[in-house]
Structure 1
Amino acid sequence: MFFTYLRRELRRRRKAALVVASGLALGIALVIIVSSVSSGMSKAQDKVLQSLYGLGTDMTVTKAAAAPGSGTERPRFEFDAKDDDATQSTDRVMVQGFQTLASTTVDKVGKQDGVADAVGGLSLTVMKVDGQFKRGEFKQSPEDGAAAQGGPRGGASGQPQGEVQGGGASFDVNSFTVYGTDVTQQDLGPLTSSKITKGRTFKATETDAEVAVVDAAYAKEKKLAVDKTVTISGTKYTIVGVSTADSGDAAANVYVPLKQAQTLADSKDKITTVYVKAADSQAIDTVKAAIQKNITGTTVTTSADLADTVSGSLSTASDLASSVGKWLSIAVLVAAFLVAGLLTSSAVSRRVREFGTLKALGWKSGRVTRQVVGEALVNGLMGGVLGIAVGLAGAYAVTAISPTLTAQLGSSGGGGGMGGGGPMGGGGPGRQTAAKTLDIALTAPVSLTTILTAVALAVAGGLIAGAFGGWRASRLRPADALRRVA
């Protein structure tokens, strides 16, 4: 009887049911689209962060760079006196971005509760100066030349008159970045943000070998290739592989074994960064607090901290999706619920004679209320199905169009943390004052959780509308129906 009456009433009131379902569908569709776009924003930011610190890294441990004027050594270049036109070259290898930490810090970090793995790295900048000096030529003045033909020679002092012409110096300054990686643990660190496209990566036995992996863009610029050599501070490194960054710029131009990097920088048993992987991604803040408490003098930066430094259209769109979009979807959803409730209540008012007659025939108030709630719940479910369809279509449209957003991560000029100018910030070592810009294609993935949320909202909308109508129906009296009949 319940379902028979329900089916008949829904057919008879198709237009009213469609209006209620459409209102709920609009709110549910907007929730799905905003949720999927927000999820896409989150994945886009993860892609940006992954390009900076590599796969698997949840946080970094560093020591902030010394303040300017606190004894930091400035680069100096010295050249020997050589013959004219002789080409001279000199390198200066400098630790990039941070003060160094002892290599033992890696073990200390690895022993902290909640840390699954930790590995150290050393970020370097190499400044290479090449050029030559050219001696100028002395040119006598015309008057002095005439005097040399028989007249008095020279000025009042008797010295030849003239000037030195030509000569000077021409030098080219080339700066590139080097990252010392622990070849025995290559699952963490900036190198994991690139793929080996030619040759191979390091072997675990090459802890102190003179081998290197170069970034593809740098290799193309300098015409480098596998089996060729790259010279760093007078040492020739055989190129064993060429890596290509998954997105944007690579973390460094050249990668060498950690011990070799320490030798180049005269920083034995020193590192600049510890890359940390947490055992539980939900306990990152707890791990961060433990490291800061137990290892003094360090700065711990999580990927969430680095995300706060991302700017550009990606950041703007993410803020809009998480603030304006969220509140807009909530406002539309609340309005849809209220409209559905009011329409249901209004429909009950127009059915006073019907419900009053049913009560006169013996229907209890509870049965009338259940009938109204059942109709509203079906309307809500229809609205949910329609809303999910529209929401999925909207999310698919966003993914199909894939609007391009820019993400810019500026460096803080040598501060601590991921954004401080090491490989975790500003696009890698040697980019303290630069900003890394990436173009990210936006997608709108729809998760099962979002679908289940939409179903729950549909049911909730139906129940709310049914509550309005049921309350109105429960107050009807048989006498009202009899007066309407009269």
Structure 2
Amino acid sequence: MFFTYLRRELRRRRKAALVVASGLALGIALVIVVSSVSTGMTRAQGKVLRSLYGLGTDMTVTKAAAPPGSADEGRPRFKFDAKGSGDSTSQAGDRVMVQGFQTLASSTVDQVGRQSGVAAAVGGLNLTVLKVNGQFTRGEFKQFRQEQRAKGGGGGGGGGGPQGEVQGGGASFDVNSFTVYGTDVAKQQLGPLTSSKITSGRTFRTDEGAAKVAVLDSAYAKEKKLATGGSLTVSNTKYTVIGVATADSGDAAANVYLPLAQAQTLAGAKDKITTVYVKAADSQRIAGVKSAIQKNVPGTTVTTSADLADTVSGSLSTASDLASSVGKWLSIVVLAAAFLVAGLLTSSAVSRRVREFGTLKALGWKSGRVTRQVVGEALVNGLMGGVLGIGLGLAGAYAVTAVSPTLTAKLGGGGGNGGGGFGGGFGRRTAAKAVDIALTAPVSVTTIGLAVALAVAGGLVAGGFGGWRASRLRPADALRRVE
């Protein structure tokens, strides 16, 4: 009887049911689209951050920043020997520098690893290599003529004035730079290299700690026309290219990856590292792990992924803020309005059915049965709105993914020489340039579940309005109502 009456009433009031379902569908669709876009932005931001510190890394430990002007040793210097007797002399050299100019002892990795809540800790060394090559051109001394010396007031040929001047000469140098990351080949589960996928060749083996081998970023390899099996020379040391890696985000953390021992040898930084990459045993304990490291490992700066996320700016950050604030509030307002309209329409429909419900009560229907009938009709309207809303929401999310608008993320990596930036210098390197990320809008099962819950809630809210109104009707009302 319940379903028979329900089906008949919904057919009879198709327009009203469609209005209620459409209102709920609009609110639910907006919630799905906003939630999906927000998820897509979170993933995009995650890609940007993983390009700096690697997949699975929860925080990094770097040396605390030194006071400004306290040290001058990190300033790059080049010294060229005077050689050759010709008119021009070619010169070339590499300057290998530690990014941030601040290092930690390798033993810091063990100190950090012993802290409560730390699942894994791996050290790495971040370097910048400046390649300078060019030539000096010898100038030519030209003696003044006698009249020139006289005008110059030099006292003629026997005076102390200038006898001539050097003309021409100079220097022309080309400066190129690239970044190097020294990775612990025995512990490759953390660090920037994990954010890249080997697309040619292979990665390091655990027994290649002292081997002269290198893995190149695909963009750098393409620029320098290098491939697996080729060689790369850094500071007069030749390395065999064993693999090429492509970064997930399109922006690699380093151009060249070397075994940690080789990177330390290049930089003259034996048993030194710039960064400790840390994975917490539980994501809920990251804040506690950070506090423990700061307390028990003095002279260090601990930076979590959340800290770095706060430095992200650009259109990605702006759009993320809009989605999380304006978008969510707009969804709430539209959804609340849809619930209110559905409730009012259902209540209005009950008021037009006074004669019907009064007659049913006179025939023996209890108030509870009338209320359940009204709530059932409203719940079906809500479910129809949910189905329609899910369809519209999926279409909207698919449209965003199909268009894939490009957002720009700019990263602030911290200041000074102290290595305070996340990733021990990689943050500072990327602060000067933008990373482009294509936005997607993935729809999760959780989002679909939320849409269904909202549809049911909308139906219950509308049914609550109408049921409360229907429960107050008396059989006598049917006799006084003329339609």
Length-normalised TM-score, structure 1: 0.91
Relative to structure 1, the CA distance from residue 136 to residue 379 in structure 2 (aligned partners, 3 Å threshold; closer, same or farther) is same
Matches within 5 A, 1:49-448: 49-73=49-73, 74-84=75-85, 85-97=88-100, 99-143=102-146, 154-157=156-159, 161-414=163-416, 419=421, 422-426=424-428, 431=429, 434-448=431-445
Measure the CA separation in 2 of the matches of 1:443 and 1:292: 37
Residues 52, 423 of structure 2: 8 Å contact kept: no
Measure the CA separation in 1 of the matches of 2:379 and 2:419: 53
- Aligned residue type for 2:81: D
Number of residue pairs matched by the alignment: 476
The yes-or-no answer on 1:475 pairing with 2:478 is no
Deviation, 1:227, is 4.2
Residues 309, 419 of structure 1: 8 Å contact kept: no
- Aligned residue type for 1:478: P
| Corresponding residue for residue 44 of structure 2 | 44
Measure the CA separation in 1 of the matches of 2:162 and 2:319: 74
Residues 57, 276 of structure 1: 8 Å contact kept: yes
Larger mean Cα displacement after TM superposition, 202-211 or 346-355? 202-211
Deviation, 1:468, is 0.7
Deviation, 1:337, is 0.6
Measure the CA separation in 2 of the matches of 1:416 and 1:384: 54
- Aligned residue type for 1:381: L
Deviation, 1:76, is 2.6
Deviation, 1:262, is 1.6
Q: 1:453 aligns with which of 450, 454, 460?
A: 450
Per-residue Cα deviation, 1:185-223 (whole angstroms, up to 9, x for no partner): 122111222233343322221212222223333334444
Measure the CA separation in 2 of the matches of 1:317 and 1:146: 72
Same amino acid, percent of matched pairs: 81
Larger mean Cα displacement after TM superposition, 347-356 or 278-287? 278-287
| Corresponding residue for residue 150 of structure 1 | none
Larger mean Cα displacement after TM superposition, 202-211 or 373-382? 202-211
Measure the CA separation in 2 of the matches of 1:417 and 1:359: 79
Q: CA RMSD in A?
A: 2.5
- Aligned residue type for 1:20: V
Query: Unmatched 5+ residue regions in structure 2?
Result: none
- Aligned residue type for 2:369: R
Measure the CA separation in 1 of the matches of 2:125 and 2:202: 21
- Aligned residue type for 1:444: A
Per-residue Cα deviation, 1:417-449 (whole angstroms, up to 9, x for no partner): 7735735414xxxx27x4232222211111111
Residues 415, 421 of structure 1: 8 Å contact kept: no
Larger mean Cα displacement after TM superposition, 130-139 or 223-232? 223-232
Measure the CA separation in 2 of the matches of 1:50 and 1:177: 17
Larger mean Cα displacement after TM superposition, 298-307 or 35-44? 298-307
Relative to structure 1, the CA distance from residue 326 to residue 416 in structure 2 (aligned partners, 3 Å threshold; closer, same or farther) is farther
Deviation, 1:361, is 1.9
The yes-or-no answer on 1:4 pairing with 2:7 is no
Per-residue Cα deviation, 1:326-376 (whole angstroms, up to 9, x for no partner): 000000000011111111111111111111122222222112111111111
Relative to structure 1, the CA distance from residue 6 to residue 217 in structure 2 (aligned partners, 3 Å threshold; closer, same or farther) is closer
Secondary structure at the residue paired with 1:112?
Answer: coil
Larger mean Cα displacement after TM superposition, 95-104 or 392-401? 95-104
- Aligned residue type for 1:186: Q
Larger mean Cα displacement after TM superposition, 99-108 or 414-423? 414-423
Measure the CA separation in 2 of the matches of 1:336 and 1:160: 93
Measure the CA separation in 2 of the matches of 1:225 and 1:374: 68
Secondary structure at the residue paired with 2:421?
Answer: helix
Query: Unmatched 5+ residue regions in structure 1?
Result: 148-152
Measure the CA separation in 2 of the matches of 1:131 and 1:339: 76
Deviation, 1:155, is 3.3
Relative to structure 1, the CA distance from residue 219 to residue 377 in structure 2 (aligned partners, 3 Å threshold; closer, same or farther) is closer
Relative to structure 1, the CA distance from residue 98 to residue 6 in structure 2 (aligned partners, 3 Å threshold; closer, same or farther) is farther
| Corresponding residue for residue 22 of structure 2 | 22
Residues 52, 422 of structure 2: 8 Å contact kept: no
Measure the CA separation in 2 of the matches of 1:64 and 1:109: 15
Residues 100, 271 of structure 1: 8 Å contact kept: yes
Measure the CA separation in 1 of the matches of 2:65 and 2:171: 34
| Corresponding residue for residue 463 of structure 2 | 466
Relative to structure 1, the CA distance from residue 60 to residue 474 in structure 2 (aligned partners, 3 Å threshold; closer, same or farther) is same
Secondary structure at the residue paired with 1:155?
Answer: helix
Relative to structure 1, the CA distance from residue 415 to residue 458 in structure 2 (aligned partners, 3 Å threshold; closer, same or farther) is farther
Secondary structure at the residue paired with 1:56?
Answer: coil
Residues 98, 422 of structure 1: 8 Å contact kept: no
Deviation, 1:416, is 6.2
Measure the CA separation in 2 of the matches of 1:452 and 1:18: 22
Measure the CA separation in 2 of the matches of 1:87 and 1:455: 74
Relative to structure 1, the CA distance from residue 63 to residue 13 in structure 2 (aligned partners, 3 Å threshold; closer, same or farther) is same
Measure the CA separation in 2 of the matches of 1:451 and 1:94: 52
